A and B are shown apart, each in its own frame.
Chain A
Amino acid sequence: MEVYLERENKKRNLKFTGTAKELLEKLGINEAAVLVIRDKELITLDEKIKEKDKIKVVSVVSGG
């Protein structure tokens, strides 16, 4: 699956199935500081993610 980490402006390809929460844990990302988007839709952390999904992880921190 493809994960785009917006804050780092990096794409990562990895083998993963599980929930969005588990994905963040695998990536070592604090769930309190991000939102997860699948195919342009915001999803909650209990959502199951499939191998073919395109995921974007957006940091809620922005500005100065």
Chain B
Amino acid sequence: MNCSKCLQKAVFSSPALCKNHFLAYFESKVKETIQKYKLLPNKKIKLVVACSGGKDSTVALYLLNKWGYKPTALAIDEGIKGYRPHTLLDLQKFCRENKIPLQIYSFQKEFGASLDKILKKLGGHPCYACGILRRYLLNQKSRSFDVIATGHNLDDESQSILMNLCNGNLALSANLGPKTGAFSHKKFTERIKPLYFCSEKEVMAYSLLKEFEVSYHECPYAYLSFRGKVRDGLNELELSEKNVNERLVKNFIGLLPAIRKKYSSAKEPQACRICGEAGRQEICRACQIVEQLVGNKTTVLKQQTSC
């Protein structure tokens, strides 16, 4: 197969493009998303990129840095043995080589236990505790920034849309989209997804072609997740229904204004009684987890105020 724009051999099938044309295509897709959805109105904006050391966030970090947005990288070390230490080493090397400031916060230091220890003690689904605590720290530690960019791609988004539908949790879908949030709140840092329209395959191809030294492995807990099952199902469907992820996301974007309108009048977030962070309940879900973990409310109060 040859490149649809020149006579070179294609390295990517759909669209059929050679290396140089694929890199240009990918970058212009990300640029168009940033411009069309006004993700970053100017280069003075204080930008932080949520990084894991994996391909998606590294690609987002690389491009935003390349285009002069002067990002800071922010990573959360959940404490997943045999997985996260490697990805963080890759991230540290990448940031050092590209002169990007990096901040790393760990569950162990912030909550008193690694994810592995939390799961050992509390049981339950790994993604539940991990997701809540990771989002909590990302939000809290990005407060001195205007915007937090994540590496979420098209496949991530289509999976989230389906998962929320399956779980009857449409209110969560109001927070999806290239720029998240059905409402703004002083304690929520606005989140943007520059890779929103790039498929996971395109992000992987870009990362491989740029020869980024990143881990291409999966979180050891991922096989347990509902997301993993939805992803595999969508990939199966993709074989007979081309661009199923893209179709899902593009049709969802058409519905998003109505979903946001419906849920914008939902109850305003309130300050958590323990840590003061914004949440939907009297005690935020992160504090509920920590409370279960230490089994002592006083200790929780002390721990949280030291954050």
Contacts and interface: CB of A to CB of B under 8 A. Distances in A.
A33 B221 CA distance: 19
Contact of B216 (A6, A44, A45): A6
B201 A60 contact: yes
Given A32-B235, A58-B216, A62-B217, A37 B208 contact: yes
B55 A62 contact: yes
A44 B201 CA distance: 12
A27 interface: no
Nearest to B244: A32
B90 to A, nearest CB: 12
B219 A61 contact: no
Q: Which are the 3 A-B pairs with shortest beta-carbon distances? A: A64-B219, A32-B238, A63-B54
Of B13, B52, B205, B216, most buried by chain A (CB within 10 Å of CB) is: B13
Given A32-B238, A61-B231, A44 B1 contact: yes
A5 interface: no
Nearest to B11: A42
Interface of A: 6-7, 30-33, 35, 37, 41-47, 58-64
B205 A35 contact: yes
Of the four ranges (under 10, 10 to 19, 20 to 34, 35 or more), the interface on chain B belongs to 20 to 34
Contacts of A33: 232, 235
A63 B218 contact: yes
Contact of A35 (B54, B130, B204): B204
B97 interface: no
B183 interface: no
A62 B235 contact: no
Interface in B222-244: 222, 231-232, 235-236, 238-239
Of A45, A62, A64, most buried by chain B (CB within 10 Å of CB) is: A64
B1 A46 contact: yes
Of B19, B55, B200, B236, most buried by chain A (CB within 10 Å of CB) is: B200
20 contacts: A30-B236, A33-B235, A35-B201, A35-B208, A42-B11, A42-B208, A42-B209, A44-B11, A44-B12, A46-B13, A58-B204, A58-B208, A59-B216, A60-B201, A60-B203, A63-B54, A63-B218, A63-B219, A64-B127, A64-B219
Contacts of A60: 200-201, 203-204
A2 to B, nearest CB: 19
A47 B161 CA distance: 35
Contacts of B235: 30, 32-33
B303 interface: no
A60 B236 CA distance: 14
Contact of A43 (B11, B130, B201, B204): B11
Nearest to B214: A62
Interface string B193-206: 00000001101110
Contact of A42 (B127, B203, B205): B205
A11 B215 CA distance: 19
A9 to B, nearest CB: 9
Interface string B50-69: 00101110000000000000
B16 interface: yes
